[in-house]
A and B are shown apart, each in its own frame.
Chain A
Amino acid sequence: MRDHATPAHRDILDLAGLKLVPRRYYGRWIAAALILLALGYILRAFAMGQIEWKVVGQFFTAPAILAGLVNTVIMTICAMVLGLTLGVVFAVMVMSPNPVLKVVATFYIWLFRGTPLLLQLLIWFNLALVFPKMGIPGLFEARTVDIMTPLFATMLGLGMNQGAYTAEVVRAGILSVDTGQTEAAKSIGMTRLTTLRRIILPQAMRFIIPPVGNEFISMVKITSVASVIQFSEILRNAQTIYYANARVIELLFVAAGWYLIVVTFLQIGQFFLERHYARGIGPSRPSPANEEGKA
């Protein structure tokens, strides 16, 4: 260490008036330059490589691709809604004082976390092999192959699998809320379920949203697994096209582009959702929280 003490011939009061020069971050500039260089090199490689960029542009909005995109988005939403609903229900059941509910929920989580998703999708899709017909006796009955369409099997498979994981996320969120909140809610006469709905879950959301947002984004991409049971999401449609025209990389890039676009929107949504559930949190903030607060 060099000695930075005030030079003996200058008084500290003289130094007080001097100009301040901010620290220079040479390392950052060098790193940024190197990264840009590497990026340029990679981009150039792809631009010069054997990719017909015109084909990528051409197929980006092809009807089959857009139809696949719609299916991917709808399936993501359906599976996540089912997964979140089941997740909350099973988390509450696992934490219930009722031993029956507890055992049922624990079994569900064990079963659906314990087997691969791909295998679960195949079982749902092939359920007709076990039960040729299904329904409620006397009310309605149908052939299982008519019910277990790729769409329905995918939704059940992804949603029920997601439910098992979300249950653990929700449970962690509920545990993160101070027990004093439950006691205060009881003291004003709330029942267990009202306490959960009005007091605990709203505060647990802050801890639940980041991991669930993460899983939402995963789900967008995991829907592609359903291509094995003929669900026509975006990747499967891209594959169908390149089987015909042999533009493999071009169509994979089309799919990749759309995945990135969907995920970008989700990430923006997560930001606003997190901000909403952060209300009332943190060291004393001035009034902005009050202005948006709804009485």
Chain B
Amino acid sequence: MNGPVPVSLPSGSEAATPLVRVRQVSKFFGSFRALNDVSIDIPHGRVMCIVGPSGSGKSTLLRCLNQLEKIDAGAIAIDGELLGFRLQGDALHELSDAEIARQRLKTGMVFQRFNLFGHLTAIENIIEGPVTVLKRPKKEAIEEGEALLARVGLASKRNSYPSQLSGGQQQRVAIARALAMKPKLMLFDEPTSALDPELVGEVLAVMRALALSGMTMAVVTHEMGFAREVGNELVFMDHGEIIERGDPRVVLDHPANARARDFVNAVIK
């Protein structure tokens, strides 16, 4: 471990500490280097879109932010708190499972394959975390859950099981489930990749509204239109490295890096 790295803010940004700070993170799967010395910030209220070919490490980066993967080197801090380790004296001590579970409360995650709990209805999926993990009173949790369902346009599907919902509806319930935990950061791992084309729009609409409400988001996606319109920053990854980043409109229209240019051409055409 390299330990917590002193954070220097990129010039021109506001004085506040970014919500997410990723410093020199590397991750191996066996001998395969999934992430290679990745450093990046996400300021409060910003939407960062991560694009790149499959196997480029973009999903791995996202999963490291939620500690679904453990990093092998570097450091990640969310909301001023170092992930996975506690600094004691000169050493970083690994946190317990319970402490890691508590750290995950700061982030909500939306998966490519929705991963709704199959044995629970839409509303039960949403209140499961607040009631079981946060120990909120059930009545309150249900009221808030119903409000969230209305927010994603699915108030009428309250008592439907995931198997009775379309992919787009399942993904919207999954977004509501993540929001029910009141996270500071929302992670989206290719949220529309498993959807039929006609269902993509409804999910992107919910995400767009969420971005407008000021939520900090990291979105791994192939939807370049969404990245261009909603994203504040676009990050290109390839072979576990960030090869290009910047304003989405600039990066997508005039990629400086040759590999990024090839990718943009292939995806947009």
Contacts and interface: CB of A to CB of B under 8 A. Distances in A.
Interface of A: 178, 180-181, 183-192, 194, 198-199, 202-203, 277, 279-285, 289-290, 293, 295
A184 B115 contact: yes
A183 B160 contact: no
B108 A198 contact: no
A284 B118 CA distance: 12
Given A180-B115, A282-B163, A187 B178 contact: yes
Contacts of B113: 180
B120 interface: yes
Nearest to B112: A180
A279 B123 CA distance: 15
A199 B117 contact: yes
Interface residues of B, number: 39
Contacts of A181: 115, 117-118
B269 interface: no
Given A187-B68, A280-B161, A283-B163, A194 B132 contact: yes
Given A199-B117, A279-B161, A280-B118, A187 B108 contact: yes
A284 B163 contact: yes
A290 B156 CA distance: 12
Contacts of A202: 119
B167 to A, nearest CB: 12
Nearest to A199: B117
Contacts of A189: 101-102, 104-105, 129, 133-134, 181
Nearest to B162: A280
A187 B124 CA distance: 16
A281 B104 contact: no
A290 B111 CA distance: 25
Contacts of A279: 119, 161
B90 interface: no
Contacts of A282: 163
A280 B66 contact: no
A135 to B, nearest CB: 37
Interface in B62-112: 66, 68, 97-98, 101-102, 104-105, 107-109, 111
Contacts of A186: 66, 68, 101, 104
B121 interface: yes
B241 interface: no
Contacts of B178: 187-188
Residue among A184, A186, A277, A290 having the largest count of chain B Cβ atoms under 10 Å: A184
A190 B133 contact: yes
